[in-house]
Structure 1
Amino acid sequence: MSRDSSKDRAEAKPKQPPEAQSEEDNASGTSMSIDSLRKYLAEKLGISDKDDEKEKIKILDDVSVDGIAVYIKKKNCKNIITMAGAGISTSAGIPDFRSPGSGLYDNLQKYNLPHPQAIFELDFFHENPKPFFTLAKELYPGSFKPTISHYFIKLLIEKDVLLRHYTQNIDTLERIAGIPEEKIVEAHGTFYTGHCLACRKEYQLEWMKERIFKDEVPECESKDCKGVVKPDIVFFGEALPDKFYSLIENDFKKCDLLIILGSSLVVQPFASLVDRVLDTCPRLLINREKVNNGSGIMAMFGFGAGFDFDGKNNTRDVAWIGDCDEGCQLLADKLGWGDELKKLRQTEIEKIEKAEATPVKSSM
């Protein structure tokens, strides 16, 4: 009896002090709370919650542009998505928004704005549309020609490997390069069309251009209207186009390679698209600096939070730092498409210049 009792006592776990038990319970409760919150947010926001289930899969043989080229060939990619910012148009002569000293926001002092972003704010536009249209004349589509980066995107279409091109740009250079409308999602709108703010009548690019180049504020021609006609670009506080929201869900699930070109990825919801692809999808950034290199509160909860360029387990995120045209040409060279890309741009630019030199026939 006493032997059994001794054995029971020997096998019994020592009781913890009440304080230790309380700390253990609190830690367990906190862990459960964070896990529950993570799962709840994942369900509500539609964000992947597979952080604990991820297997360490080697996605790229080499985390470099060479590795991306090998992947495209080996995996026979058919659903590449490109995402573009102002960096693909700077070599065409169009300033980007944020480059110190040369960015658009740095060059707006002459318009006497309360702050640089005001030129793209709807309230300020209603109050004084003139500064916007003065700037629009400088940036208007038709004054610039597409770059190597634009024709790289077109080449992906010709190779039948591009699913969609998402762009933040409003310069319409993708359209000028010949990228079909069904392949383009102009997330921040376009100059291609405009609408009267009063009656919503639609106007086309050439109609608006004629008035803007006369230094006029375009006014609706509907009887008794005279509302201001605003190009269909997205101002701060406006909703993104329906096409953006209708396509992102299916597109990014299908994506087998994501290429981001010349974007600072600071404007939402566009920037969040990089986290919509599957965990097995490689992501290539071609830009003048690394951006969106994962951190922040979302990472605390185990959600996607940008790129993992410098992570020790990274096998899918590649950053090529430099000029977009050079990066696109390099990737084309690695794929054996380099000469084809150069010839494509040369041929297409010659067509544009020939069309510009041809006198417009009178309708009379």
Structure 2
Amino acid sequence: MLAAVGAVGLAMGGAVAYARWRSWAQASHREQMEALLLEPTTSAEQVLDLVSHMPAEHVAELRSRDDGDTMLHVRARANDPKSLEVINRLLAHVADVDLTVSPPILDVTNGYGCTVLHVAALADASDVISWALVDSPCHGTVVRDWCNALTPESKWTAMHLAAAEGHEEAARALVDSYALCGWDDAAAVDELANTKDAHGHTQLFIALHNRHPPIAALLLELGGDPSIACGRNLLTGLHSVAATGHAELAEAVIAALRAAGTLERTLAARSATGETPAALAAGSGHAHVLRLLLDAGADVNTVTKGGESLLALAAAHARQDDAALAIFDLVLAHPALDESILVAPNRFGSTALHEIASLCRPTLARALITAASAPHTLAAMQDYDGMTPIHALARAVRTIGDRAVETFAAIAAALHDPAVVAAVVNTLDYGEASPLHALVWKAESMSAVALLEALLDAGADPTIESEQGWSPLHVAYNMRGPDARVADAVLAALTSRWPPAALDRFDKDKRRNLDAKGYIARRGPHNRIPIAERRAVLGGEFTPAGVADYLQRLGRTPRIVVLAGAGLSVSAGIPAYRTSDGVYSTAAGRSAFQASAVASDPVSFYAKMAELFGGVVTGEITPTSAHYFVAELAARGELAAILTQNVDMLEVAAGIPADKIVEAHGTMRRFRCLDPMCSSEAVSGEAVWPRVLAGDVPVCAACGSTLRPCVVFFGEGLPASFTEARNTVMEHADLLIVIGTSLMVYPFGALVNEVSLLTPRVLINREPVGPFVHHTSDANYRDVALLGDADDGAHALAASFGWPADWAERAAARAAGS
């Protein structure tokens, strides 16, 4: 209706049409009047005339049915030359109270929780902003509060909106109004530039990320801090400009950081996934920004948490060859470059040349290998599966192929010596397969045939058999690709290089030895560590005593990290989740931990929560010995952190310090409003649980909506505290203890592999899970599996550590007295 009336109003012109609108107003055609008043395209003259015929209280209460806008929101959104005149007339019309004490409509929010200032920032209505903050009858602390009001869901101030939209005039009006009002304290800077929204992004970060130089410059000049780590990914403003590649912004941010004395720290700052700003610039293909960062002091030898160097990042992610090559030229010519970076392995053991080969990028291959002082070493480097860059090239030809021969030619040319080239192309992976094995497996294109002939010409041996007993010719016969023409060409190329006598005896139907275990025994990053160092971790003693001996040999207080799942609390009476009789064994249990369950059937949801966790609140369910074991580690100063999947509150009840607990999946100790538009803060469970235990559904005191626990439901992201702990705690752990978890839920399940390769790991669980399924393997050197109840495992470790027999009782007494 609103759009229709507005369209008619705009179409009708002249005195006759205007008179018709006045007659509608005088005749109290209320619905049409309201629609016209709440249409931003309605002229100021029409609005003022229509308002003059309406009661003041109706003007103040008038709201759009679609978005809840008041008339002031609408006029701010209109942002026409007469918006201020209309707003002042509207205020005068409804000003039956003292505006400086109780403003009737200026502080009212619309259906999205936006004040008039939010809407003005969104519309770039700078004159409305200046008037509201400086010239309106409302001023002082009240107006400053409006300026910093947060939208309920996104938690955005007016400046967040201006920064997001690139509305320079609105942003400048906010800053100038602050100055005119004399609000120039440190808090003012934080309010305008450094306030984090619901996603953890400041106004400055948003301006930088959205590439709005004038607003970013304004906020930087004001004192905005680009060193603040923002969002779930912990990106600083310098990370943002490195990723977007905006050179002007990068220069401004670097200058601001240098002036603040935080440049060195921010250049080295790592995101949640372990990238420095230089790493993001390299991976995004922004050589010009990378140069600025390196000139400012960024480390050219930096690697990500996953082990990727600047070269590897550019090779893998900078899609344009020109961009990637510019980064290669910049990095390879840098005087501080350590040549070991050229062979630095990532988490899979792949080097930059592996990445280049896997993408068939000859230009980059030529640049990298010619820069190496020992190109043959670079070309023969093996990843954690034993594959060389030539293996990677052979596998890539299946899908990329077009530049495979050119890439191989670039590598071979840099090696110079044909004998060295032959040695490289015959290097075997850990399953004793050559690059030819990988190449002919279901070969699909003539590009594969061309590379096959190039490798054979370079000295590749087609008779080598893998540990399974197959040569490349066996593979070609038994694993033919879908294209008969290609498959026949592969067979022809291979048979032409076989010795005739051997070919006469060749058995193409030979069975593979699928029981061969050499590959399994040799693969993995630990095999890069000398076997003596591996064996020294536990000395072959995969028991609690072996763990105790290891800790004693440290000669200092250990940093112990605990990963905990539902098994930690089973003996307390709280069921596990994924066992055959666990919470998820029934449809009702599985649906209980969905956010939709709280909204659709809050009565049943809270009845289930009371059934599961109510006993913890009443004291009927108490911590287990395993909980107290972790608390005792903390009391002795040995606990770095416990990362727990549990929401049952028993870690706190056991006396584990709150700053040592990382609640990866949230907690039942806090609750928040289910309505995302509500601006209320989370409330303590102390105020909520009595209602839950009484059978009531807890509701928000601010808006009356149902409260939800602060847990991570299926499909929701993990809290920032988990990401921070993952990046700061895991790699420094001296010992990892895993208690009662299936390690099936990611990303939590990945943590077990994020400690050092020489850090011993202990599993306390009913059955082996994750990497512990191999704890009896001859390759094991650091894993201990204590299979059984969590409490029994905790007591076994405590006894080996030499704790007094009553340690659990002492820990319980300490928790009770805290």
After TM superposition, the score normalised by the length of structure 1 is 0.75
Question: Structure 2 matches for 1:139-178, cutoff 5 A?
Answer: 139-140=613-614, 141-143=616-618, 144-178=621-655
Higher-helix-fraction structure: 2
Question: What corresponds to 1:246 in structure 2?
Answer: 724
Specify which of 187, 200, 218 is matched with residue 698 of structure 2: 218
Q: What are the Cα deviations for residues 110-138 of structure 1, in whole angstroms up to 9, with x where unaligned? A: xxx4xx32111123332222222011111
Q: Is the 8 A contact 1:166 1:186 kept in 2?
A: yes
1:101-140 matches, cutoff 5 A: 101=581, 103-106=582-585, 108=586, 113=588, 116-138=589-611, 139-140=613-614
Amino acid at match of 1:308: H
Q: Which has the larger radius of gyration?
A: 2
Q: CA deviation at 1:99?
A: 2.9
Pair 1:194–1:260, CA change in 2 (3 A) = same
Measured after TM superposition, the shift of residue 77 of structure 1 is: 4.7
For residue 736 of structure 2, what is the aligned residue in structure 1? 258
1:68-116 Cα deviation digits (max 9, x unpaired): 1111222245211011111111111111113323x2234x56xxx4xx3
Give, in angstroms, the shift of residue 25 of structure 1: 5.8
- Equivalent residue for 2:763? 285
Choose from 157, 173, 179 the match for 2:656.
Answer: 179
**Equivalent residues in 2 for 1:5-154 (5 A)?**
26-27=436-437, 50=525, 53-56=528-531, 57-58=534-535, 59-61=537-539, 62-75=541-554, 76-101=556-581, 103-106=582-585, 108=586, 113=588, 116-138=589-611, 139-140=613-614, 141-143=616-618, 144-154=621-631
Letter in 2 for 1:163: A
- Which of residues 793, 799, 802 in structure 2 aligns to 1:336? 802
What SS does the aligned partner of 2:617 have?
Answer: coil
3-state SS of the aligned residue for 1:142? helix
Query: Where does residue 174 of structure 2 map in the other structure?
Result: none
Trace 1:185-334 onto structure 2 (pairs within 5 A).
185-198=662-675, 199-201=678-680, 202-222=682-702, 225-293=703-771, 308-334=774-800
> For 1:266 and 1:125, how far apart are their aligned partners in 2?
25
The structure carrying a bigger strand percent of its residues is 1
Identity over the aligned pairs, expressed in percent? 34
Q: 1:120 to 1:347 in 2, by over 3 A?
A: same
Q: Deviations over 1:120-170 (max 9, x none)?
A: 112333222222201111123324111111111111112111111111111
Listed one character per residue, the Cα deviations across residues 31-56 of structure 1 (whole Å, up to 9, x for unaligned) are 9xxxxxxxxxxxxxxxxx84552322
Q: Secondary structure at the match of 1:215?
A: coil
CA deviations over 1:159-188 (Å, ceiling 9, x no partner): 111111111111111111111111000111
2: CA distance, partners of 1:253 / 1:286:
21
SS of match in other structure, 1:339: coil
What is the SS of the residue equivalent to 1:154? helix
Change (3 A) 1:235 1:346: closer
User: Alignment length, in residue pairs?
Assistant: 295
RMSD across aligned C-alpha pairs, in angstroms?
Answer: 2.6
Instruction: Determine which structure has greater relative contact order: mean sequence separation of CA pairs < 8 Å that are 6+ residues apart, divided by chain length.
Output: 1
Opposite residue 54 of structure 1, the aligned amino acid is I
Pair 1:206–1:309, CA change in 2 (3 A): same
The offset of 1:29, in angstroms, is 5.0
CA distance in 2, matches of 1:25, 1:324: 48
Q: Deviations over 1:174-204 (max 9, x none)?
A: 1111111110001110011111021152111
Task: Work out whether residues 526 and 757 of structure 2, in 8 Å CA contact, stay in contact via their aligned partners in 1.
Answer: no
- Contact kept, 8 Å, 2:617 with 2:689, in 1: the verdict is no
**Inter-partner Cα distance in structure 2 for 1:81 and 1:342:** 19
Helix, strand or coil for the counterpart of 2:672?
A: strand
DSSP-derived class of the 2:736 partner: strand
Asked if the contact 1:330/1:338 (under 8 Å) is kept, the reply is no
State the AA in 1 paired with 2:591: A
Alpha-carbon contact 1:193-1:231 (below 8 Å) kept: yes
Q: Distance in 1 between matches of 2:766 and 2:696?
A: 37
Alpha-carbon spacing, 1:30–1:155, altered in 2? closer, same or farther (3 Å): farther
Q: Secondary structure at the match of 2:610?
A: helix
Residue 137 of structure 1 aligns with an amino acid whose one-letter code is: A
| Cα distance between partner residues in 1 of 2:812 and 2:438 | 65
Deviations 1:274-305 (A, max 9, x none): 00001000000011111114xxxxxxxxxxxx
Task: Give the conservation status (yes or no) of the 8 Å contact 1:82–1:260.
Answer: yes
Pick closer, same or farther for the CA change 1:27–1:81 going to 2, 3 Å. Answer: same
